[in-house]
Amino acid sequence: MSPSLKQNTQSPIPADLDSRFRILKGKLVDPKLQKAVTASWKRLLMKMEEEFAAIAEAGSSYIPIVYWEDIVKNNYQLPTKTSKLFQERGSIMVKGVFDRQQIDVWFNELQDFCKEHPETAGYTYPNPASWYNCFWTKPQTEARFHPNMQKMMNIFANQFYVSDPSKCLLDLDTQVAYADRIRIREPGTVASLSMHVDSSSIERWEDDNYRATYKEIFEGRWEDWDPFNLDIRAYSTEDLYEDSGASRPTVCSSFRTLQGWLALSDNKSGEGTLKVLPNIKLCMAYVMLRPLFWNDPASGNIDDYVIDVETPKFPGAEPSYGQLFLSDDFYPHLKQKETCISIPDVEKGDFVYWHTDIPHEVDKEHNGNGHSSVFYYGLTPLSILNISVLLDNRKSFMANKSPIDYGTQLTEAQREAEFQGADINNIHNLEGLRSMGLKEFDEFDATASAGQIRIRKLANEALRNNLFDKEKYLKEIQQ
């Protein structure tokens, strides 16, 4: 008897993309491996049933927690057990990175800025939509370049790796600042952003390098895929539609390994905080294979799935947008109502990281009594794609304007009126200045690999010339 799903999961038929995506669908799986991939899909669904039940039962306790003081005592290293859990679950909470008094100082300064510069914040304070377009204010800048933050970023950057550091054009020890918005969410506000994954949409399948990141999944070996290996991902183009001319608020121009935020408030589950589906390998294997197995058998029997390598159907993926549509209609096996769990209770000064392949959302409603506020700080290593981010950082910071990902959302009048509060005197160390493109990188570091030195040289040259052609280097993938 064929193994069955616990319920009939037959889904609506997704719309077709442009006809060129038929060709793309045919490229995903070698014809000789179609049987292996079909078998791997069946293994995946069975494993999801098992693991997701454990997540639903554990709830918030499934998210690993580590205390900053314990990291410090461990010579600024993540404990081995915690590192293993983080790499399995793709998310983590670091408690007490900053003391509460410092957080209160920063938040009060932030509020004052939003009130005084509504033309910059984007809305009259308070903003019913929660997000403010502030990027370079004094509190954001001081927090971003605080020694605790920089040490933590280095610790988590090195949870990732490349197989041959002498060749790969990537420097995990060097961060490029990615300017992101802030959130000040008041009680009673409703969020509309559904469960999604960061770092693009159709590009995961369409870009040759990005697709190769998931090579093992498309060979029927999803168990062997390592989401922390960056050999090819460092060369992936996550925005193939940057020249579309449209305002695309869900698209990020940088290459991020992790997204994260610093808590500026105390919040419990249901109080406007983050929810994640914490199993990176199962979730992403499912998302990547779903276009091949979108047609759920009416029988509910796993053995009745048939691989589709011919139609231009990529459920929930839409060119020029992020992967925003991980709905129950198209991705029912994620069982998001049970498995997308709240992070543990968060306190001022805590930090939360999640892998950019982790499905996540925010509480639909904020049922608490106080605000739910954060500074967003992703991990953006020095890489081919992020040299352009570095150049834009310097330009927008010195002009006191929004960075490129957000400036395109403003009218000409709004761009002229905004004042971001940028001040170089708020950056108190050399690494902070380097991450903003305000100082050159060390090309003579005896501890750095050949790949690190080369990417630093390329970045320095770009800073001197104020120009960089990324396409020239994106094909330099070391197999």
- Check: CB of residue 271 under 8 Å from CB of residue 110: no
Q: Over 60: is that where the pLDDT of 294 sits?
A: yes
What SS3 class is residue 318? coil
Mean of the pLDDT values across residues 434-451?
Answer: 97
Residue 305: CA count within 13 A, CB half-sphere: 31
Mean of the pLDDT values across residues 331-353?
Answer: 96
Structural domains of the chain, count: 1
DSSP conformation class of 177: P
Q: Over 90: is that where the pLDDT of 451 sits?
A: yes
Where b means 16+ CB within 10 Å and e means fewer, 293-320 reads bbbbbeebebeebebeeebbbbbbbebb
Residue 269 falls inside a structural domain: yes
pLDDT-derived band at 415, boundaries 50, 70, 90: confident
Angle between helices 80-89 and 280-289 (to 10 degrees): 20
Q: Over 80: is that where the pLDDT of 323 sits?
A: no
300: left (phi over 0), alpha (psi -120 to 50) or beta: left
Q: In this predicted structure, what is the pLDDT of residue 266? A: 98
> 411 vs 86, which has greater pLDDT?
86
Residue 397 falls inside a structural domain: no
Mean of the pLDDT values across residues 426-447?
Answer: 97
Q: In this predicted structure, what is the pLDDT of residue 325? A: 67
Q: In this predicted structure, what is the pLDDT of residue 479? A: 45
Mean of the pLDDT values across residues 334-358?
Answer: 96
- What share of the chain has pLDDT > 90, as a percent? 76
Residue 107 falls inside a structural domain: yes
> 176 vs 13, which has greater pLDDT?
176
Q: Over 50: is that where the pLDDT of 430 sits?
A: yes
Query: What whole-number distance in Å separates Cα of residue 254 and Cα of residue 380?
Result: 7
Q: Per-residue pLDDT tens for 458-468? A: 999 999 999 99
Q: Which of 60, 70, 120 is closest to 91 using CA atoms?
A: 60
CATH code assigned at 299:
2.60.120.330
Q: Which of 88, 130, 179 is closest to 400 using CA atoms?
A: 179
Give the mean pLDDT of the chain: 91
pLDDT-derived band at 256, boundaries 50, 70, 90: very high
Mean of the pLDDT values across residues 253-259?
Answer: 93
Intra-chain end-to-end CA distance of the chain, in Å: 43
Claim: this prediction has a pTM higher than 0.85:
yes
Residue 467 falls inside a structural domain: no
- Residue 115: domain span: 20-156+179-382
Query: What whole-number distance in Å separates Cα of residue 84 and Cα of residue 297?
Result: 36
**Helix residue ranges per DSSP H, 117-207:** 118-121, 138-144, 147-157, 203-206
Take residue 251 and report the two structure tokens written for it: 């698209």
Q: In this predicted structure, what is the pLDDT of residue 1? A: 38
Taking residue 164's Cβ as centre, other Cβ atoms within 10 Å add up to 12
- Check: CB of residue 91 under 8 Å from CB of residue 278: yes
Q: Measuring CA to CA, how many Å separate 56 from each of 52, 128, 152, 193? A: 6, 31, 29, 22
Q: Over 70: is that where the pLDDT of 391 sits?
A: yes
Residue 238 falls inside a structural domain: yes
Residue 421 falls inside a structural domain: no
CA 16 from chain centre, in angstroms, equals 27
Query: What whole-number distance in Å separates Cα of residue 408 and Cα of residue 104?
Result: 32
Q: Per-residue pLDDT tens for 111-160? A: 999 999 988 877 767 776 688 889 999 999 999 999 999 999 999 999 99
Mean of the pLDDT values across residues 282-286?
Answer: 97
Q: Per-residue pLDDT tens for 35-72? A: 999 999 999 999 999 999 999 999 999 999 999 999 99
Q: Which of 138-147, 151-160, 181-190, 215-224 has the lowest mean pLDDT?
A: 181-190
Q: Measuring CA to CA, how many Å separate 347 from each of 71, 85, 96, 106, 147? A: 18, 22, 8, 15, 20
Q: Per-residue pLDDT tens for 264-279? A: 999 999 999 999 999 9
Residue 280 falls inside a structural domain: yes
Q: In this predicted structure, what is the pLDDT of residue 436? A: 97
Query: What whole-number distance in Å separates Cα of residue 269 and Cα of residue 275?
Result: 9
Residue 117 falls inside a structural domain: yes
Highest mean pLDDT among 30-44, 105-119, 246-260: 30-44
Residue ranges of E strands in 159-206:
170-175, 182-185
